[in-house]
């Protein structure tokens, strides 16, 4: 069964304290792994797409990496404005040849000033 | 402005009263999708549309219908809403169905309460 698991569920960091969020997945026919940021009451905002093991992408204080079984979102020297829920998702091919998305339940990040 | 729009943003209704939540995108995207988001369960795909000709069920399609008569619109229909459909609903779209440009862009959400 296709599945995406994120850990930890919640994370509290001091401003400047770097850390990593984990996304492990089991999926047949991976067509991409995505990271999103979601602020309370709003729709998810796209951050990164990774397509193959070994790929890395960076944006400001965020860096996403991908292996064959998991992805990490590294946050370097976070600021309070980085506080949000971070969602991981995969796109997988179905038995009927269509493409579906599976999301993890997210990591709630709180960065304290 | 490139965007996904949903209407209404908030809706309180009663059990059994048919309703439609509209979704429209102005980016000429091929793939459109509906999700519900519930505490502890995350985002779950209800239905998706690869293009105007292909629509498929997601993980939680029971009690919902969709139609894709034109590329830009993808309404979600609840024929007989029940309280367990109380949730936050998101519409999303992506330029491509797979491969490059398959990242989804989300609407602002519709908060539905069924009494």
Share of chain B above pLDDT 90, in %: 90
pLDDT digits (tens, 9 = 90+) for B5-56: 999 999 999 999 999 999 999 999 999 999 999 999 999 999 999 999 999 9
Contact by Cβ (8 Å): A87, A38: yes
Closest residue by Cα to residue A34 from A42, A43, A8, A25:
A25
| pLDDT beyond 90 at B113 | yes
**Which residues of chain A have a Cβ shorter than 8 Å from any chain B Cβ?**
31-32, 34, 41-46, 49, 87, 89, 91, 93-94, 96, 98-106
Distance from CA of A48 to the nearest CA of B (A): 8
Share of chain A above pLDDT 90, in %: 87
Output the pLDDT for position B96. 84
pLDDT, mean of residues A26-44: 93
DSSP-assigned states of every residue in B10-40: EEEE-TT--EEEEEEESS--SEEEEEEEETT
Distance from CA of B51 to the nearest CA of A (A): 10
Distance from CA of A44 to the nearest CA of B (A): 6
Considering only CB atoms, B54 lies closest to which of A87, A98, A104, namely A98
Please answer yes or no on whether B42 and A43 come within 8 Å at the CB atom.
Answer: no
pLDDT band at A62 (very low <50, low <70, confident <90, very high): very high
Chain B residue numbers touching A52 (CB-CB < 8 A)? none
Contact by Cβ (8 Å): B14, B112: no
pLDDT band at B100 (very low <50, low <70, confident <90, very high): confident
Q: What is the mean pLDDT of chain B?
A: 95
Two tokens, residue B17: 């009263």
In angstroms, rounded to a whole number, what is the distance separating the alpha carbons of residues B26 and B2? 6
| pLDDT beyond 80 at A18 | yes
- Say whether residue B95 is in contact with chain A using an 8 A CB cutoff: no
| pLDDT beyond 80 at B59 | yes
Neighbours of B48 (CB within 10 A): 28
**Structure-model confidence comparison of residues A12 and A30, the more confident one:** A12
| pLDDT beyond 80 at A77 | yes
Q: What is the mean pLDDT of chain A?
A: 95
Closest residue by Cα to residue A35 from B48, B101, B103, B93:
B103
- Say whether residue B54 is in contact with chain A using an 8 A CB cutoff: yes
């Amino acid at each position: 069964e296709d599945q995406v698991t994120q850990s930890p569920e919640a994370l509290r960091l001091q401003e400047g304290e770097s850390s990593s969020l984990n996304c492990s997945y089991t999926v047949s026919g991976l067509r991409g792994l995505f990271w999103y940021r979601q602020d309370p009451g709003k729709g998810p905002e796209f951050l990164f797409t990774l397509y193959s093991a070994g790929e890395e992408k960076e944006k400001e204080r965020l860096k996403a990496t991908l292996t064959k079984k998991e992805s990490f979102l590294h946050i370097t020297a976070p600021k309070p404005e980085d506080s949000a829920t971070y969602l991981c998702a995969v796109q997988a091919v179905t038995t009927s040849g269509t493409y579906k998305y599976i999301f993890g339940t997210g990591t709630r990040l709180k960065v304290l000033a | 402005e490139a965007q996904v729009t949903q209407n209404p943003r908030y809706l309180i209704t009663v059990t059994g009263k048919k309703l439609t939540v509209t979704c429209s995108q102005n980016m000429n995207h091929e793939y459109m999708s509906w999700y519900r988001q519930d505490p502890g369960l995350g985002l779950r795909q209800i239905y998706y549309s690869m293009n105007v000709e292909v629509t498929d069920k997601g993980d939680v399609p029971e009690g919902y219908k969709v139609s894709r008569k034109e590329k830009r619109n993808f309404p979600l229909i609840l024929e007989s809403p029940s309280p367990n459909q109380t949730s936050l609903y998101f519409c999303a779209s992506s330029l491509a169905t797979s491969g490059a440009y398959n990242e989804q862009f989300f609407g602002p959400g519709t908060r539905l309460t069924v009494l």
